[in-house]
Structure formats: C-alpha cells, structure tokens
A and B are shown apart, each in its own frame.
Chain A
C-alpha cells in the first residue's frame, strides 16, 4: 500500500485533464483509466465566461481526487500565489508544484522549487514537487517538508519515455520509502510499465492519452500497463545478463 500524504489512491495512474478533443472524451478517458487522481489548473477568466465553472462541474462529477498544479510559473512568488489560489478554488491542500526554469525543455528550476516547497509546506500545503531526477535536489525537497517526489521521465509533452533510466533507478534506490511518481515525458503504455517495474509508486500521464487517436482506449491501455508494471515489480524481476543462459536443461541432452 502506498500512501500519498496519508491517502491511499484507488489507482496508481494519475491523469492530466488538458488537451482532450472534448469534455466528453476527457470524462470517458478518466473513467476508462480508473484514474486515482486528476490534475487541474487555473487560468484567467473574464466575467460572464462559464468555461471554468463548466470544467469544475465536469471534474466534480467524476468523483476523483484533484491535484491542482502551478503550471506556467517561473518564479517562487508566482508558484506560491498560484498554489494559494488553487487551494481556495479546488478545496484541497494538495499541490503539484511546478517552477519552470527553462523554456525549451520546461525543466524544473530545482533551486526555486525547493524554496517554494519550503514556503508552501510551512503554510500547510502537501506538496508534490515536479523535479528532475537529481539526488541532491530530492534530499533538499524532503528536508523542505515534501513527503512525495515527482521526477520527470522526459520533457513535458515529449513522449520520449524514461530519458535517464540510471538516474531514476538511483533515485528510487536512495529513497526507498518515499512515495514517488514519474511525471512527464511518458509516451506509450510500455514507458509507464517500465516506470512501475523500477518501483515507482505511480505515474502521471496527460499528453500521451489526450493526444492519442482514441484517448479513452489509450487511457485503458495505460491503466493495464501501470497494473502490469506494478505486479512485475512486486513479483521481483530476474536480473539482466550480458550472455545467453540456456533455459532448457542441458543435462541428459543426447549426443547425436
């Protein structure tokens, strides 16, 4: 059982809600994924516009815990203010903390992330920090009060899968008891299965589902991959070898 700030999720698949062809397809994808969490955001809304309210009604109807993000924030101050606004609007102290440091890769600014995480934790937030797979950064985030870590697999929306397997393995091995989620960069279900096989506790997917030809079907495929990967991790996979080892016994083999 994995607890995220004391809460056990119904599924280890976390699903983003952006970029779907329609609200109906989004709702269908969330249901087919059996998502344990859905991520949401905040944007400017003019008086009289109802898009935000309609979206909120849709999300509430799905009855899945929400994880608001601070997407698009580049400074500590922006991220902290956005988190405070999200807490009021969504009624949760969970926050997926993003502080972007570089526009081409949307790479997290680990220095600003640690500072924002410290401020928010002191303010009672339960912070899910979107981070690089940096061991020292992870240590600082834990010291700042984070009880969950969310390393990237690859740049957001790239679909490249797990870009640094060694780094993700090392991070998992260094902090075996910290709930960890691979967030961003996952493109196909096999990437998600791979993250789970490494021992990650969950994955967060958005673009790979939303931009699939059939998002709902892809959501189901991801759910199956996450479950398979988790089962494989628990079943303790064999060790990889460089040389062949015959699987059929050689003792008693005929000499012909």
Chain B
C-alpha cells in the first residue's frame, strides 16, 4: 500500500505503525515520536495503529531549537 512518510511516498508491506518503523529500518530504541494524519500516536499505541492507503505518517526526532 502506498503511504507518505515524512513527505515522501513509499510502497510498504506494513499494516501497523510499529511494523512500518521496522520495515523502514528505524532502530527500536530510537528516540522518535510519531503522528499519523496529523494526530499524535504514542509509542505504546503503535502496534495497534492500523495504517490505511494514503496515510500521512510523520516520524520526528530531537533537534536544535530556539
């Protein structure tokens, strides 16, 4: 299914958010936060979060800020 991750389109096998992170190669211990379709998805909710075609996924990490 086609989804968008951080603004780029991807064809993925994963059907849940946690499976998507695995498939894309994110380290399980990585300090990241996730949102799907503009809504925050807590780390504990990722295994249960079912992805749909066209989903907009954001994967964010710490960075410098003012």
Contacts and interface: CB of A to CB of B under 8 A. Distances in A.
User: Do A and B assemble together?
Assistant: yes
Contacts of B32: 45, 52, 89
A17 B33 contact: no
Interface stretch (B11-19, B23-31, B47-55): B23-31
B64 A18 contact: yes
What secondary structure prevails in chain B residues at the interface with A? Answer: mixed
Contact of A53 (B25, B35, B61): B61
A128 to B, nearest CB: 13
Given A41-B64, A85-B60, A89-B61, A46 B6 contact: yes
A156 interface: yes
A39 B31 contact: no
Given A44-B6, A71-B66, A88 B61 contact: no
B66 A81 contact: no
B63 A40 contact: yes
Nearest to B22: A47
A81 B30 contact: no
A19 B39 CA distance: 29
B59 interface: yes
A88 B43 CA distance: 8
B33 A86 contact: yes
Nearest to B8: A46
Interface in A163-182: none
Most buried by B among A40, A88, A90: A88
Contacts of B63: 40-43, 45, 51-52, 55
A110 to B, nearest CB: 20
Contacts of A55: 62-64
B53 to A, nearest CB: 21
Interface residues on A, range: 35 or more
B40 A85 contact: yes
A51 B58 CA distance: 17
B25 A52 contact: no
Given A53-B31, A85-B35, A40 B62 contact: yes
A151 B62 CA distance: 25
Nearest to B58: A44
Most buried by B among A39, A45, A69: A45
Contact of B61 (A18, A20, A42, A77): A42
A161 interface: no
A68 interface: yes
A47 B33 contact: no
B66 A47 contact: no
A16 interface: yes
A48 B66 CA distance: 25
15 contacts: A20-B64, A41-B65, A42-B60, A42-B61, A42-B62, A47-B26, A48-B25, A71-B66, A81-B38, A84-B33, A85-B33, A85-B58, A85-B60, A88-B33, A89-B31
Interface of A: 16-20, 26, 39-49, 51-53, 55-56, 59, 68-69, 71, 77-78, 81, 84-86, 88-90, 156, 204, 206-207
